[in-house]
Amino acid sequence: MIHMAFCSSLAYILVRVFKIVDPISMSLDTYLKSVVPIGALYSLSLWFSNSAYIYLSVSFIQMLKALMPVAVYSIGVSFKKESFKKETMINMVSISLGVAVAAYGEAKFDVFGVTLQLMAVAFEATRLVLIQILLNSKGIKLNPITSLYYIAPCCLVFLSFPWFVMEYPLLRDKSSLRFDFWVFGSNSLCAFALNLAVFLLVGKTSALTMNVAGVVKDWLLIAFSWSVIKDTVTPLNLIGYGLAFLGVAYYNHSKLVALKAAEAQKSVQKDDFEAGKLLEERNGKEDEESPRKNENRN
């Protein structure tokens, strides 16, 4: 909730004051029907994923997050945004199998924590699919800064409800608790810097590069949690996550190949269209010149 409050304020300053990016023309009806559901799902994803850290290790949570492509693809197929392909489904099964092996080898397995993280993955996957359905289909494209500008205030409102009901009574009763501005301020700044880094990375490369970087980040987090936080990472954990990693890597590769093929097809169609247009212009000029030639002969 603090992240969303900070990011909302900073995004407003960047968009309205410094005008680094232009705001998108969006009616109130579009905001209520498109942005609010996405904001609600995002807040649920944040709530459940952060709650999972109470029960599970950092390394194991990163392993469970490998299920994200499986959830996105499954929900995309159910909403008819993705076409069912046997090869892709086999790939999804291999990722799920790898995560299952990693879960089986987890030393600190907690059913409630795993349930929270899986629900967070499901909510996040649904949010990503809804972005395609509710925003992209209407021609609305959001970068990370404009996403924060529109969605963060909505998330702030939704996250305030569980905070007020579940956390505020505990904070109120503990009079010794003091708000650390340095810890929460620097933490919020890191959260905003992450979104800005995503914006720059996707702008310079592609969203697929962002996914590959995310996989590298997961490996670094697992190594960090094992070496610094002293999380228990078993060999079976690594074998399972290695299988899931290979599945995710193959999925990203398949998407890259499909993306390049689509771009090549668009390029060919564009070239054909321009060639046809030039041919029509040339034929038109020849038709205009033919009567003139006949007149000169006469």
Tell me whether residue 239 is in a domain. Answer: yes
Q: What is the mean pLDDT of the chain?
A: 85
pLDDT at 13 over 90: yes
Give the DSSP H/E element, type plus range, for residue 45: helix 36-52
Query: d(Cα 69, Cα 121) in Å, to the nearest integer?
Result: 10
Residue 169 has pLDDT above 70, yes or no: yes
pLDDT of residue 107: 79
Task: Please indicate, yes or no, if residue 266 is contained in any of the structural domains.
Answer: no
Q: Is residue 210 part of a domain?
A: yes
Domain limits at 68?
Answer: 1-170+188-257
Residue 271 within any structural domain of the chain: no
More confident residue, 190 or 255: 190
- Please tell me whether residue 177 adopts helix, strand or coil conformation: coil
Assigned domain for 278 exists: no
- In this prediction, residues 255-265 reach a mean pLDDT of 79
Furthest-apart CA pair in the chain: how many Å?
Answer: 107
Q: Is residue 290 part of a domain?
A: no
The whole-angstrom separation of Cα 141 and Cα 131 is 9
Give domain status of residue 81, yes or no: yes
pTM: 0.81
How would residue 285 be classed by pLDDT, with cut points 50, 70 and 90? Answer: low
Q: How many domains does the chain have?
A: 1
Q: Are 215 and 165 in contact (CB under 8 A)?
A: no
Residue at 161 is within a domain = yes
Q: What is the pLDDT of residue 272?
A: 65
pLDDT digits (tens, 9 = 90+) for 152-165: 999 999 999 999 99
The span from the CA of 130 to the CA of 150, in Å, is: 15
Of 58-62, 202-206, 255-259, 261-265, the range with the lowest mean pLDDT is 202-206
